[in-house]
Every structure is written in structure tokens, then in C-alpha cells.
Structure 1
Amino acid sequence: MQKLQRFTYFLFFISLAVCVLYFAREFLIPLALSGVLATLFIGFCTKLENRGMNRGMSSLCAILLFLGAVAIIVFLLTWKLNDLAENIEGMEEQIVGLFDSMKSWINEKIGVSAQKQDEMIKQTESANGENGNMLFNFASGTVNVLIKTILVIVYMYLFLYFRSRIKKFILMMVPKSQDGKAERVIEKSAKVSQQYLSGLSKMILLLWIMYGIGFSIVGVENAIFFAVLCGILEIVPFIGNITGTSITVLAVVAQGGGSNQIIGVVAIYLFVQFIQTYLIEPLVVGDEVNINPLFTIIILVAGELIWGIPGMILAIPLLGIVKIICDSVPQLQPYGYLIGSDRKRKTSLIDKVKNLFDKK
């Protein structure tokens, strides 16, 4: 009876937490994103402070490093954008041709005339709103993104500057006898986010190189742009890499690429995924976030429903922190076991080769 009551309280807490996360998302998303990103620069700030730099300057250097990395990504995306813009007309002609072919196919197979299809498209456009509303929504969305970006940068700086005070506050909230345990939980939570993000950054860099070489060999126009796009979309697990490759395939079709080029892009995607799964992830990312596949998918879907795309990006590191807390609290250990995985480490391609030689 006591266990049932405890489980009921747990479900009530989860329901309340979901409501708070959803209705306060405009406030919580920049805060959570900046907190997770700040963990990536804790080690960097600590090294600077050990060399005599004060806390304010070390935090500022971390922010400048972050902005520099963002600037490099933007430069790589816009580097070949001029060449892409020059081919827009040709791509538009290809896309119009594809739509005409699709209309003809629908007319032949389903019996819906091209005129009727055009009327349906116009009705959909009018239902979505007038051009003025679309322009207003685009402008307000851009301003909203800029404000949130500034908030994230400010929050990051303040988290790094006041990290000792925040840690001391958490330790003051627990009994003195639990100080050591609480400090280990804080260190593990910061470490899991830091290792996940740093490993993900290294993996994205390697994906840029592999996709760039592969797309260039196949002959994709503006290969660097699509390679950087596919790598960046990797921050959204499972969905990002498929989305990036789909966009590349559509661009190849719009550019007038033949079936061999499309097959080449898909083959590169499959090859890169194989290398990523069996070589890059075990060596670079590892299993810092030890969550089983079931709850990985559940938390990604829940993150998208509650916070949208930022929720999908933050879902795995935040659930990793929740798992560490559950493992450290006796009453919550069953939930930590449910979320976790018994698999200690992924077997990489290098490990398999070594095992073959060891058997011989």
C-alpha cells in the first residue's frame, strides 16, 4: 500500500512537472539551453582561473569562444550560399517540372484534374493566411529568436560566473551528512552534459569532413553547404541525419541530378551512418548518457511535444541528469534502473577487430 501511494505521488509530480514545463516553456527553454551549454565551458574556465584569470574574464572568454564557434558554422553555411543562389532559377524550373509530373500522375492514377489540384492548393494557401500575416509572423519570429539568443548568451555568462554560488546553494539545501553524496551528484550531472556535448561537437566535425568528401565525389553542387547542414542537424538525434540527407536528395533532384547521383547520396548516408555507429560514437561520444533505446525515443517524442525542436535537442542530456539523480536517491533508484541500460559500452569496429586477433 505504501509503495502504491509513493507511485501515485510520483505520477502526480510528473504530471505537475509536465504542466510547468509546457506552460513556462518560453522562460525555461533559454534557461535550460544556457545551463547545458555552460557545462561545456566549465573545464575551460577552470583552466583559465588556475592560471590567474579572474572569474569574470574567464566567463567572458568562454562566451567569446562560443560565439566564435557559432560564427564559423554560419560562415561555412553561407560560404557557398552565393553559388547556391545562382542556381535557384534552375532549381525552380526543376521543381516546377516535378510538380507538373506529379499532377499528371495524380490525374492519371486518381482522376483528379490539374485544374482541381490548383484550386485545392489555392484554398490551402488562403486558409494559411494572407501574405501580410505571413510577413508579420516571419518578422516576429525572427525578433523572438534574436531575443532568445541574447538571453541564452547572458544566462551562459551568469551561470559560469556564479557556478560556485549555485553549487553551494544546492549543498546548503541537503543535510550536512549528505554533502559528499550531493557534491558527487552535482559533478556527475555537469560531467554527463559536458561529455555529451563535447563528444557531439567532435562527431559533428568528423561528419562534416566525411559528408563533404562524399558529396564532392558524387558531384553534388554546393557539397560543403549540404555537408555542414547534415552535420549540424545531427544535434537532433535519429531525425536530424535523415532530414539532412532528405534535403540533400531533394536538392540533387532539383539540380537535375540523375538516378546515379541520388543513389550515390543515399549510399554515402548509409556508409557514414555505419562509420558513425560502430566507430565514431564509441570512440568520440561513448556512453556517457546511459539511457536505453525505449526511453531515448520516449523522451525525444515528449521533448518535441512540450518544447518543440529545443526539447528534442535538450531531451537526452537532461534525462541523463535525471537518471543520475534517480540513481543517487534510494527511493528513486527503481526509476533510474528503468531508464538506464545494462549495456556498459558500445562495441566499436576497432574492438571487434581486436577480439578477432585475440581469439586467434
Structure 2
Amino acid sequence: MPHLSSAIRLLLLFILSVIVLYFSSSVLIPLTFGGVLAMLLMPASRWLESKGLNRGLSSFVSLLAFTLFIVALILLLRWQIGDLLKDFSKLQEQLGKLLEQVKDYVRSEFGITSRQQQQILKEQQSGGMEKAAGVAMGTIFTTLSMLVSTILVLVYVFLFLYFRAHFKNFVLRLVSATNMPIAEKVMQKASRVTQQYLSGLGMMIVMLWIMYGIGFSIVGIKGAIFFAILCGILEIVPFAGNITGTSVTVLIAFAQGGSMDMVVGVLITYAIVQFTQTYLLEPLVVGNQVNINPLFTILIIVVGEAIWGIAGMVLAIPLLGMFKVVCDHVEPLKPYGYLIGTQSAKEDKSIFKKLFGGGGDD
């Protein structure tokens, strides 16, 4: 009965946490992004402090360098989009031809005539002016909301970096004197896990840019750099991101009038890059920092998307990694840390082990 009672309390705590996370998303998402990015920038801030800068200036410089990198990336994407828009009329023409081919296929396979298809489209587009106005207003509000959230995230990052010692001391005051060493160890390890995961993910994305850029250039995709950067950035969203980026690239290859050889080339590039990423880049660059069971990796991404949308998918893995660190050091939670973790934190990650090794204990 005591075990049943503790399980019920844990279940109720989980349900309550999900409710709070869902209804407080507008507040918690920017705050969480700020905390995670502050952990990423903490080594740079400490390095600047070791060079003689005070904490406020080192925090500001670290944040400024990160912001300038993001702005440079956006400008590069904008430049690439500008080149693509120069041939927008040709792109529209190719998309029109592709749409006609789709209509012909629907007519031949399902017996729906072109007139019937047109009627269906007209019915769906009824009240077009009102819908267009609604979409325009929604776009404006979404853009303003993103701008406000971005500013909030930057402010949170600076404040987390500047007051990190204050927050650390606050956590230590919550535990007893005997548990202070464990609490300090948990905070250091959780921060280190997040730093290693995010920095490794960043390095892997840069490598993906290079590989996709080379592959798409060889295939002949116009704007290869843009689509390489797009596919790499979407890697931030696990599983769904790279498939989405490649699907968009395939569609654009069709729209650019590319032959089937070009489309096959895009798919071959995707397959080669994914193989390299899975069996070389992830083990060598990202490594096994979060040490999470693949089942719970997928599960936490699905739960994150259900609660916080795309932001939840991005934040899911680092947050679960930090939660696992807590579970591994708190005695009542150790079974849960074992459950969501892999069988061995030191398992061989070489390509030969992955390809030809066994699957572990039964």
C-alpha cells in the first residue's frame, strides 16, 4: 500500500505538472529557452571573466556574440531567398505544371474531373477575402508575438548569466547542509550535460550544412546553400525536422523543372548525410551526453510537441537530460533515472558496434 500511495502521488504530480506547463506556456517557453541558452553561453562568459571582464560585461559580450551569429545567419538566408525570388515567375510556372499533373493523376485514378476539382477548391476558398484578412491579421500578431518572445529570451539569458551565483545559492538554501554537496554536484552536472549536448548539436549542424551544401550543389539545386542551411537548422527539431527540410528540397527540385535524376540525387544526398550523421557525427560530436533510452527520446518529443508545440520538441531532450541527472542523484528517483536511461553509459559507440554489434541484454 505505501508503494501504491507513492505511485498515485507521483502520477498526480505528473498530471499537475502537465497542466501547469500547458496553460503557462506563454510565460514558461521564453523563460526555459533563456535558461537553456544561458547554460550554453556560460563557458564563454566564464572565459571572459577569467580575462578580467566583470560579470555584467562578460554576460553582455557573450550574448552579443551569439545574437550577431544568429543575425548573420538570417541575413545569409535572406540573401539566398533573394536569389531564388529572381526566378519566381519561372517557379510559379513550374508549380502550375506540377499542379496540372496532380489534377490529371487525380482524374485518372479517382475519376474526379477537372471541373469537379475546381468546384471543390472554390468551395474551400469561399469567403476568401475574410479568410485572407484573418490570415493577414494572424500573421501580424504572430510576428509581433515572436518579436516580443525573442526579446524576452535575450533578457532572460543575460539575467541568468549575471545572477547565476545568486540562483545557485538559492537552490543550495533549499536543501539541508548534509545534502549541499549532492545538490551542487547535480547542478554542475545538469549544466554540463546541457552545454555538451547543445554545443555538440551546433557543431553537427555546421557539418550538416557543409555536407548538404556539397550534395545539393553537385545535384544542381538552385539555392543549394539556402536548402543546406534549412535542412541543417531543422535538425534542431528531432526526427521531423530533417524529413521536412528534405521534402521541401524535393518539391523545389520539381518546381525548378528538375528531372527525376535531380530528385533521386536529392534523396541519395539525404540518405548519405543521414547515414553519416547517425553512425559518425552523433557518436563522435554529440556523443552520449544525455544518455536517454531511444523509446523515451521519442516519447518526450511527442509529449513536448503536445504541450508546447515545436518549442517543446526543441527543448524536450535537454530538459529530459537534466531531469535524468536529478533522478540519478536522488535516491527515491533512481529507478526512474534507470528506466529512461540506456543500459550502459559507457557502451561502445563505434560504427562497427552500431552496425554489427549485439542488442544488449535480454
Q: TM-score, normalised by structure 2?
A: 0.95
| Map of 1:168 onto structure 2 | 169
Cα distance change on mapping 1:149 and 1:346 into 2, 3 Å: farther
Percent identical residues: 48
| Map of 1:123 onto structure 2 | 123
User: Is residue 328 of structure 1 aligned with residue 329 of structure 2?
Assistant: yes
Of 335, 348, 351 in structure 2, the residue corresponding to residue 349 of structure 1 is 351
CA distance in 1, matches of 2:344, 2:208: 25
CA distance in 2, matches of 1:96, 1:204: 34
Runs of 5+ consecutive residues of structure 2 not aligned to the other structure:
358-362
CA distance in 1, matches of 2:37, 2:186: 18
Provide the aligned C-alpha RMSD in A.
Answer: 1.7
Runs of 5+ consecutive residues of structure 1 not aligned to the other structure:
356-360
Cα distance change on mapping 1:71 and 1:213 into 2, 3 Å: same
User: How does 1:1-360 map onto structure 2 within 5 Å?
Assistant: 1-126=1-126, 130-344=131-345, 345=347, 347-349=349-351
| More off after superposition, 109-118 vs 344-353 | 344-353
| Map of 1:358 onto structure 2 | none
Q: TM-score, normalised by structure 1?
A: 0.95
Code of the aligned partner of 2:42: I
Cα distance change on mapping 1:176 and 1:319 into 2, 3 Å: same
Larger RCO, structures 1/2 (Cα 8 Å, 6+ apart): 1
- Contact 2:221 2:253 (C-alpha < 8 Å) held by counterparts: yes
- Contact 1:286 1:346 (C-alpha < 8 Å) held by counterparts: no
Cα distance change on mapping 1:338 and 1:101 into 2, 3 Å: same
* TM-superposition CA deviations, 1:7-61 (whole Å, max 9, x none): 1000000000000000000000000011001101111111111222111000100
- Contact 1:76 1:228 (C-alpha < 8 Å) held by counterparts: no
Code of the aligned partner of 1:268: T
Deviation at 1:350, TM superposition (A): 8.1
Code of the aligned partner of 1:20: V
Aligned length: 354
CA distance in 2, matches of 1:16, 1:50: 43
| More off after superposition, 206-215 vs 335-344 | 335-344
CA distance in 2, matches of 1:168, 1:17: 25
* TM-superposition CA deviations, 1:176-218 (whole Å, max 9, x none): 1000000000001111111111000000000001111111111
CA distance in 1, matches of 2:238, 2:46: 30
Code of the aligned partner of 2:147: L
CA distance in 2, matches of 1:352, 1:49: 42
| More off after superposition, 84-93 vs 182-191 | 84-93
Cα distance change on mapping 1:73 and 1:168 into 2, 3 Å: same
Code of the aligned partner of 1:192: V
Q: Secondary structure at the match of 2:291?
A: coil
